[in-house]
Amino acid sequence: AGTSEKLMRFLESGIYRFESSKAVFIDPVRVLNRSYSRFKVSPSAYYSRFFDTHGSRAGVSSNTRKRKRKEKQAATALNERELAADRRHQEVRAFLLKAHESLRGANELLSVMPSLRSGEDAPAKNIETWEPQQSLIELGRLWQASMFEITLNFPSSEEQTTGYQRILPVFGNLVVNDMDDDVEAEFLNSQYIIPRESHFYISDLKHIKNLVPDGGDCGFHLIVVDPPWENGSAHQKMRYPTLPNRYFLSIPIKQLAHREGALVALWVTNREKLRTFVEKEMFPSWGVRHVATFHWLKVKADGSLIGDIDLFHHRPYESLLLGYCSRKSGDSEKLSIDRAIPDNQVILSIPGDYSRKPPVQDLVLEFIPGLKPPRCVELFAREMRAGWHSWGNEPLYFQESRYFQPP
């Protein structure tokens, strides 16, 4: 038996929909590749910590056992917040397990998962020996920041038979690749790959107002937000700075929304305190009406979960809260949307780098208000997409050429 049509479609698009549940498996590398014409995302660089099963075959390490023992001891004394968190977890647990069951029954998909990292990469890059990356966050804080420039090397095209350069301020400036092709860019000692028709704006949260469009049709129909939530993990502090929750209240979501309305997709962790804050304070102050929640269930290359589903502080899933926002108050119920968003949809994927989220645009496309194609923006982005605006203090992070295979 050859490859089924469904698997063929997955190998093309990076998206595999299970019929038996409201779940999808995605290969972010394939999804991201649709943003590029000549370059390809390097699978071995994307899956830098591919969760294969060497060592702990059953997926239960001694660490996990230790943690479990600790949790058992703690289980007798759950406080109110922990009880609320547990209730929330119990509500989604069934959806997560059903989704995981679908994956475990999809033999053809399981058979290709272990090779998602190898792709056509040759030879496999040794990520452990990579030089540390140039820190955009640190450079952006220097007093000289406003003087740093990036060089975009536009290739030749049908209209423009010779290539040309554009040199632009890199910080606090909207940099655009308005071409229908990938553009290579140079900034200090690094090379970056900029997808077609994309924009980036690097700044601190203090200056996010500069991203607000001047009016007309320039707002956004999809606003993806992945804030640098504080979570007390020392591990995290080394990767990027975090901010107290109250800082996020002033993000001008309403002003960023298109006049046809916007779908807001917010990544949250499982901390109950955070969930309460978002529902009671942040969404109300942003003018967002919460309508559904999706869950990202993290799996290893062999299809098993990256951790025990019931581990209290280390759940193998994170959630994506979806809501509508309208520029006029109280108007978000009147937006023109084809279909209501089904609640509790599960997205399965093998995680990439620390805190890197899977691309979700394809999964929410039919729920975005307004005319197609939608105008999309990602806040606190570390990567770019064709047609999108990416804002944050390091939106070029995963655009560095080390994350790509040359054409």
- Using CB under 6 A, list all residues that contact ligand SAM: 137, 204-205, 226, 228, 240-241, 243, 355-357, 380, 382, 392-394
Q: Which residues contact 93 (CB under 8 A, 6 or more apart)?
A: 309, 310
Give 221 or 382: the residue with its C-beta nearer to ligand SAM.
Answer: 382
Which CB atom, from 183 or from 268, has the smaller least distance to ligand SAM? Answer: 268
Q: Residue 283 or 380: which CB sits closer to ligand SAM?
A: 380
Residue 118: CB minimum distance to ligand SAM, A: 23
Take residue 254 and report the two structure tokens written for it: 């309403």
User: Is there a contact between 110 and 166 (Cβ–Cβ < 8 Å)?
Assistant: no
How far is residue 306's CA from residue 325's CA, in Å, rounded to a whole number? 34
Supply the minimum distance, in Å, between the C-beta of residue 393 and ligand SAM: 4
Q: Which is nearer to ligand SAM, 14 or 392 (CB)?
A: 392
For the chain, how far is it from start to end, CA to CA, in angstroms?
33
Residue 256's φ and ψ, nearest 5 degrees, are -80, -20
Task: Provide the minimum distance between the beta carbon of 306 and ligand SAM in the complex, in angstroms, as a whole number.
Answer: 17
What six digits make up the tokens of 382?
């570390």
Q: 164 vs 354, which CB is nearer to ligand SAM?
A: 354
Specify which residues 268 forms β-bridges with: 319
CB of 274 to ligand SAM, least distance (A): 13
Nearer to ligand SAM, 179 or 321 (CB): 321
Cβ-based nearer residue to ligand SAM, 262 or 265: 265
**DSSP-assigned beta bridge partners for residue 267:** 320
Nearest-approach distance from CB 212 to ligand SAM, in angstroms:
15
Distance CA 190, CA 187 (A): 5
Q: Which is nearer to ligand SAM, 182 or 226 (CB)?
A: 226
Q: Which is nearer to ligand SAM, 163 or 241 (CB)?
A: 241
Q: What b/e readout covers 82-115, taking b as 16+ CB neighbours within 10 angstroms?
A: eeebbeebeebeebbebbbebbeebeebeeebbe
Residue that has been written with the tokens 């090779």 in this structure: 115
The whole-angstrom distance between residue 31's C-alpha and the CA centroid of its chain comes to 12
CB of 77 to ligand SAM, least distance (A): 31
The least distance separating ligand SAM from the CB of residue 380, rounded to whole angstroms, comes to 4
Task: Name residue, tokens 């994170």.
Answer: 318
Tell me whether residue 332 or residue 399 sits nearer to ligand SAM (CB atom): 399
Burial class from Cβ neighbours inside 10 Å (0-12, 13-18, 19+) for residue 227 reads: buried
Q: What is the DSSP letter of 318?
A: E
| Number of continuous H segments (helices) and E segments (strands) in the chain | 12, 17
Instruction: Please give, one letter per residue, the 3-state secondary structure of 266-298.
Output: EEECCCHHHHHHHHHHHHHHHCEEEEEEEEEEE
Shortest approach of ligand SAM to residue 330 CB, angstroms? 30
- Taking the complex as a whole, the smallest distance from the CB of residue 170 to ligand SAM amounts, in Å, to 15
Nearest in space to 198 (alpha carbons), one of 375, 387, 392: 387
Beta strands in 270-375 (DSSP E): 288-298, 317-325, 346-349
CB of 204 to ligand SAM, least distance (A): 4
